[in-house]
Amino acid sequence: MQLRDITAPIGAIVALALGFYELTQPADTRRLSPLILFTIAALFAARIAARRQFRKREEILKAVPPKPLGLEDDSSGRKSES
């Protein structure tokens, strides 16, 4: 696993934890709005989902052969009969 694969889930967990912490604080002592922190966590989750979708798409494209229908180049010099 690479570092960039780990940062988004950790960021989402930290943002959620801070959001719940700020939510439990009295309204006059809050430093940040919990809504902002929950939005940040949702953006991290969207990034994770997009990255998974991108990887799945790459795997599918790698699995497709270069000529999926068995079509060959017609460079053998033969003329088509018409």
Q: Tell me the C-alpha distance between 17 and 23, whole Å.
A: 10
pLDDT score at 39: 95
Q: Say whether pTM exceeds 0.85.
A: no
Biggest CA-to-CA distance, the chain: 85
List pLDDT tens digits, range 23-46: 998 888 888 889 999 999 999 999
pLDDT score at 80: 55
**C-alpha dihedral (11, 15, 17, 18), degrees to nearest 10:** 130
CB 61 within 8 A of CB 22: no
Q: Percentage of the chain with pLDDT > 90?
A: 50
Give residue limits of the domains in the chain: 3-63
List pLDDT tens digits, range 48-57: 999 999 999 9
